[in-house]
Amino acid sequence: MGKITIAIDGFSSTGKSTIAKQLAKSLGYIYVDTGAMYRGVTLFAMRHGYVGGEEDNIDGLLEALPNINLKFVYNKALGFSELYLNDENVEQEIRTLAVSRQVSRVATIEAVRLKLVAMQQEMGKDKGIVMDGRDIGTVVFPDAELKIFMTASPETRAARRYKELLGKGEKVTYEDVLKNVQQRDYIDSHREFSPLKIAENSIEFDNSDMGLKEQLDRILNFALRII
């Protein structure tokens, strides 16, 4: 089977990573969750007080950027890769609402994007990859053979994320989660550097009323037609 690059972009909590992960498994491809990388930088920034306190210290974060070492390590038992920040497994911590509240602002910083995009391009240089994020089809791999843009209503997405966070034992309200989803949508699509937008030649995919299996079958079909 040939190897292609598959870019999956879209708004937050559209279920991109669930689909991308399954798709990669079905094709024997590598899966990269780029949102995890922005979350990793954000967690570092929060721990060092560069964001999340009374006042942001973006200059401090920029200076510390070379000290941020991110890598994905495959967890055989779980069947997927986990994010390590300076050799510490931060997979759980990066998914909290506290990190979600800061991440979109950190993701507006050009130097942060340049660092992470370079890493992502390196990871995908041999193709055979499914990458999900906000700028994969527009900036990271504009030549990707298959580009999907996932959407769903904010209420559907917030309900999914709310259930997920409750399942992890986080004390959150549906209203807080909806507000966060809407704020991230706004910041992600209005930022100056690589804003979230539909890439050229992208297939738009609204999954508000679609189950996981149907989504996977459809996208797998698109991929197999190209491969």
Task: Report how far residue 32's alpha carbon sits from residue 2's, in angstroms, rounded to the nearest whole number.
Answer: 19
Taking a C-beta distance cutoff of 8 angstroms, is the pair 212, 197 a contact? Answer: no
Q: Name residue 155's amino acid.
A: E
Q: Which is nearer to ligand C5P, 29 or 38 (CB)?
A: 38
Residues 38-67, interacting with ligand C5P (CB under 6 A): 38-39
Candidate residues 40, 52, 133, 137; the one interacting with ligand C5P per rule CB under 6 A? 133
Asked if residue 215 binds ligand C5P (CB under 6 A), the reply is no
The site map against ligand C5P for 88-127 (x = CB under 6 A) is: ---------------xx--x--------------------
Residue 99 CB, nearest approach to ligand C5P (Å):
8
Candidate residues 23, 24, 134, 219; the one interacting with ligand C5P per rule CB under 6 A? 134
The order of strands in the sheet holding 80-85 is 70-75, 80-85, 88-89
Task: Report how far residue 24's alpha carbon sits from residue 19's, in angstroms, rounded to the nearest whole number.
Answer: 9
Taking a C-beta distance cutoff of 8 angstroms, is the pair 100, 73 a contact? Answer: no
* CA 143 to each of CA 26, 120, 146, 218: distance values in angstroms, whole numbers, following the listed order: 22, 14, 9, 21
Q: Which is nearer to ligand C5P, 18 or 57 (CB)?
A: 18
Binding site membership: which residues?
A: 10-18
Binding site membership for ATP: which residues?
A: 10-18
Q: Which residues bind ligand C5P (CB under 6 A)?
A: 12, 34-35, 38-39, 103-104, 107, 133-135, 184, 188
